[in-house]
Structure 1
Amino acid sequence: MPADEPAENISGGESGGGRASAFTTGEAATRAEEVVDRLGERYWQKAYGGQDAFECLVRTILSQNTSDVASQPAHDSLIERYGPGGPAGRGDLVDALAIADQQRLAETISSAGLYNQKSERIIAIAEEIRAEFGDEDAFDTFVRDGEPGEVREKLLSYDGVGPKTADCVLLFAGGQEGVFPVDTHVHRIARRIGLAPADADHETVREHLEREVPAKKCGFGHTATIQFGREYCSARKPACLDDPEACPMADLCEQVGVDPETGDVVDPSEA
């Protein structure tokens, strides 16, 4: 695995979970698979699963509308206070957060932004999970062993949990193959490259990717696409604007919404 894989990353490095894996090389069946294969060669191939489901859910909520740089300290502070051994810990994170003081929790996670909204949602979800499942171990078993469609439906029923958050829990905690969470990077890049229609919403992009990328490659396809978006295919200044050869995906990309001649970059849906 490359040495420059981020060490603190909701999607990638060691704290993001996962274990080194290897994919079968050979001719890709679809262009989407070819893109993912190339990203896997550049960044990493990993198999996911094994995170505690409730902690993964909380961590993904903290990451909403912010960066890992901001959400990681919030997660660490939350675990330090409410996890086992913390001053507000009760041995069970669901139980500790279900009875947490909202203002104190908001202060604890303030680095993540939108901390009042996120603290209210985390407490409400903890209350629901405690009422239905009892504790975090039972919820973890449900996410890991439950039927994926049923688990996804349950996660989506919680206020503040959208498709991307639900899919991240299915991937990073449940270890479900064939799950390709779509965040802003994946949504932009899939449409810019031409792997999904230019006007596709997040759910439509997910459907295209999960249909055209082999199930075992979806997890690392998600994490590697995010890294590619950070390094090469940013929203406002993709690498191809400076040099068409600077992007490792140049020969596979349709550059939807990107005009290297004028330097104009728009959302693919506006191209």
Structure 2
Amino acid sequence: MPEEPTENISGGDDGSVAAAFEAGDAGTRAEAVVDELGGLYWQKTYGGKDAFESLVRTILSQNTSDVASQPAHDALMERYGAERNDADAADDAGAEDDGDGTDGRDLAAALASAEQSELAETISSAGLYNQKSEMIIGAAERICEEYGGREGFDEFVRTEDPSEVRETLLDVHGVGPKTADCVLLFAGGRDGVFPVDTHVHRIARRMGLAPADADHETVREHLEADVPGEKCGFGHTAMIQFGREYCTARRPACLDGPEACPLYDLCDRVGVDEVGESVVDPAEAAELAGE
């Protein structure tokens, strides 16, 4: 499961069961936007993903596309996953074979003892593989040291206060706000968490849901304040899908006319010149308007 799914499927204890989306009466424009997205895409249960694997996935996805990061994740899991069927597993880091062809280690332990050059080669399709391999090994070492491995970290993410979990995650080298929020959302299933990626950052400012010059953290604060907690996770994945299908960076659907965008009436179109058919970043548009 890519942390930014092509479709709005975040999974859960049973990722195959769809949940009906009930819009209700929106109290803010941001909530109205999410409710409209609920009419376009379907909603599924959040949470249920392994916290450490979610962390690894999101690190792999940094500064790259799902098309590139997914093969890297699959290769990593095949080589280091606890359930991998590796004839040489018993030789890795002195581990003992448990009799079923695996080495019995969890993913965090396996990655904590991984050779960086080998891991870098394994995840090379994700780009920036030297940096990412260093981040992943460092995170794995810390998680093994502080939580005893994958299961202890997963318990921490699921049960502790979200603000404490977020602060702890942000203290891990290579983990930024979006990565921390994705772990909270997809592993912890926490309400009130609205991760901000490039799509969400662009759309929220273009629509006028956050200031035109807002950074990622400011956009997150506005969305989490204006969207009910139980709708934040769905809003995140639905807005990403909307950004890919309608509100793209270079040519949003509104340039083809009001009828081309289902959220046209809820959008300020900051930085979009429908007459001239040109688009600039909302921050640039705000700067030009102030001159």
TM-score, normalised on structure 1?
0.94
| 1:10 matched residue in structure 2 | 3
Give the AA of the match of 2:252.
Answer: P
Deviates more, 1:19-28 or 1:205-214: 19-28
C-alpha deviation, 1:45, in angstroms: 1.7
Give the Cα separation in 1 of the matches to 2:112 and 2:2.
Answer: 26
| 1:156 matched residue in structure 2 | 170
Give the AA of the match of 1:24.
Answer: E
Give the AA of the match of 2:82.
Answer: P
Q: Deviations over 1:69-94 (max 9, x none)?
A: 11111111100000124335543001
How do 1:42-57 residues align onto structure 2 when only pairs under 5 Å count? Answer: 42-57=40-55
Deviates more, 1:56-65 or 1:83-92: 83-92
Q: Deviations over 1:49-104 (max 9, x none)?
A: 01010000000100111111111111111000001243355430010000101111
Compare CA radii of gyration and give the structure with the larger one. 2
Give the Cα separation in 1 of the matches to 2:3 and 2:163.
Answer: 23
| 1:5 matched residue in structure 2 | none
How do 1:101-180 residues align onto structure 2 when only pairs under 5 Å count? Answer: 101-180=115-194
C-alpha deviation, 1:14, in angstroms: 8.5
Give the Cα separation in 2 of the matches to 1:67 and 1:75.
Answer: 12
How do 1:1-271 residues align onto structure 2 when only pairs under 5 Å count? Answer: 9-12=2-5, 13=7, 16-18=10-12, 19=15, 20-86=18-84, 87=86, 88=89, 90-271=104-285
Q: Deviations over 1:148-184 (max 9, x none)?
A: 0000000000011000000000000001001000000
Change in CA separation of 1:15 and 1:71 when aligned onto 2, cut-off 3 Å: farther
C-alpha deviation, 1:35, in angstroms: 0.3
Give the Cα separation in 1 of the matches to 2:129 and 2:169.
Answer: 21
| 1:4 matched residue in structure 2 | none
User: What count of residue pairs does the alignment treat as equivalent?
Assistant: 264
How well do the aligned residues superpose, as a CA RMSD in angstroms? 1.5
Give the AA of the match of 1:145.
Answer: T
Counterpart contact for 1:194–1:254, Cα < 8 Å: yes
Counterpart contact for 2:60–2:72, Cα < 8 Å: yes
Give the Cα separation in 2 of the matches to 1:30 and 1:226.
Answer: 20
Change in CA separation of 1:261 and 1:14 when aligned onto 2, cut-off 3 Å: closer
C-alpha deviation, 1:135, in angstroms: 1.2
C-alpha deviation, 1:240, in angstroms: 1.1
Deviating above 6 A after TM superposition, structure 1's stretches of 4 or more consecutive aligned residues are none
Give the AA of the match of 1:17.
Answer: G
Counterpart contact for 1:90–1:96, Cα < 8 Å: no
Counterpart contact for 1:74–1:108, Cα < 8 Å: yes
Q: Unmatched 5+ residue regions in structure 1?
A: 1-7
